[in-house]
């Protein structure tokens, strides 16, 4: 069931759990995440970066694929199709293409410009029934070629953006996309408390969900992080499972190997199963299992 993300995140925030946002890259990824969300009776957010959408053939291809899989696989849990780190133009295209949720990442603009563009997109998104996430303060790491340090957002800027009517807010608290360096200082929970106080209880979004110690994730959820974005973790387990399959000689096309393990449906299966296991593990940690009943 394709829905916007407003209600699922409000319920998560009120119930002190978080909804997983899992980035998708292709049909296998999408299928794996949808099937696991259904098996666990958990609401889920499918995140799509502009780069991933381009890879898949454009926003319209993504919408058509997700809608058809949702229906074809008989998915009953709430699913939001969400643009991740969107540009202003990308947000407009996703609204047009039938996404149910967008993130406008105006964090690299001067603050006044971020405010103005966010305000405009809130009006357009809400008009069409979409939910919208905004961002204050860059999230560290590299996403689609853009690199930033692990910044901490200013609570006053968060308050101002939240007051525009945004549905959920990504606020940097030292989190970083991709793998965390060995000398990473951890999430700044005191900053999170200040941001949550300043924003009057709006659901907050934790980007860079790969590699944060479990106890720290739980602490962040307790203090208002209601959407947790995970990408690298699924990529890593998919790659490792595929490497192991090939290393075991299962894709070997020689005539002695009768299994035809090079058939893509067999070759990609261990990776898909690994993504499902990772999604389940994250849903358990985030506390979203059974919340779609």
Question: Could you list the active site residues?
Answer: 84
Decide: is 178 part of the binding site for ligand 13P (CB under 6 A).
Answer: yes
Decide: is 282 part of the binding site for ligand 13P (CB under 6 A).
Answer: no
Half-sphere exposure of 111 (CA within 13 A, CB side): 10
Task: Report CA Rg, the chain.
Answer: 19
Q: Is 82 or 251 the residue whose CB approaches ligand 13P more closely?
A: 82
Return d(Cα 86, Cα 100) in angstroms, integer.
Answer: 14
Binding piece for ligand 13P, criterion CB under 6 A, among 1-9, 24-32, 118-126, 223-231 = 223-231
Half-sphere exposure of 69 (CA within 13 A, CB side): 21
Decide: is 208 part of the binding site for ligand 13P (CB under 6 A).
Answer: yes
Angle at 24 between CA 19 and CA 26, to 5 degrees: 155
Could you tell me which of 203, 239, 207 has the C-alpha nearest to residue 49? 207
Minimum gap (Å) between residue 199 Cβ and ligand 13P: 19
**Residue selected from 6, 23, 100, 242 as contacting ligand 13P according to rule CB under 6 A:** 23
Decide: is 90 part of the binding site for ligand 13P (CB under 6 A).
Answer: no
Could you tell me which of 85, 89, 8 has the C-alpha nearest to residue 47? 85
Beta bridge partners of 225: 204
Q: Is 245 or 278 the residue whose CB approaches ligand 13P more closely?
A: 278
Q: Is 79 or 176 the residue whose CB approaches ligand 13P more closely?
A: 176
Could you tell me how many residues make up the chain? 293
**Residue selected from 188, 210, 226, 242 as contacting ligand 13P according to rule CB under 6 A:** 210
Minimum gap (Å) between residue 170 Cβ and ligand 13P: 8
Q: Is 194 or 207 the residue whose CB approaches ligand 13P more closely?
A: 207
And the tokens for 133?
A: 């996430």
The site for ligand 13P (CB under 6 A) is made up of 23, 47, 84, 177-178, 207-210, 229-233
């Amino acid at each position: 069931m394709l829905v916007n993300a407003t209600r699922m995140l409000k319920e998560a925030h009120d119930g002190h759990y978080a909804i997983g946002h899992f980035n998708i890259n292709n049909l296998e990824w999408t299928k794996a995440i949808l099937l696991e969300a259904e098996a666990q009776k958990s609401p889920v957010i499918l995140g799509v970066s502009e780069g991933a959408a381009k890879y898949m053939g454009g926003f319209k291809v993504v919408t058509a694929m997700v809608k058809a899989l949702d229906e074809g696989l008989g998915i009953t849990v709430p699913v939001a199709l969400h643009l991740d780190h969107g540009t202003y133009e990308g947000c407009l295209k996703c609204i047009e293409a039938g996404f149910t949720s967008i993130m406008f990442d105006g964090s690299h603009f001067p603050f006044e410009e971020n405010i103005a563009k966010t305000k405009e997109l809130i009006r357009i998104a809400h008009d069409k029934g979409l939910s919208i996430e905004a961002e204050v303060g860059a999230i560290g790491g590299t996403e689609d070629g853009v690199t930033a340090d692990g910044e901490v957002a200013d609570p006053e800027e968060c308050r101002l953006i939240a007051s525009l009517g945004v549905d959920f807010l990504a606020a940097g608290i030292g989190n970083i996309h991709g793998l965390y360096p060995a000398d990473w200082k951890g999430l700044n929970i005191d900053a999170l408390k200040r941001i949550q106080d300043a924003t009057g209880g709006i659901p907050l979004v934790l980007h860079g969900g790969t590699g944060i110690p479990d106890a720290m994730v739980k602490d962040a959820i307790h203090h208002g992080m209601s959407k947790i974005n995970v990408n690298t973790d699924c990529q890593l387990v998919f790659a490792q499972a595929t490497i192991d399959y090939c290393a075991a000689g299962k894709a070997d096309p020689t005539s002695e190997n009768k299994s035809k393990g090079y058939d893509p449906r067999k070759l990609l299966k261990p990776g898909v199963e690994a993504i499902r296991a990772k999604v389940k593990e994250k849903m358990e940690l985030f506390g979203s299992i059974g919340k779609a009943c």
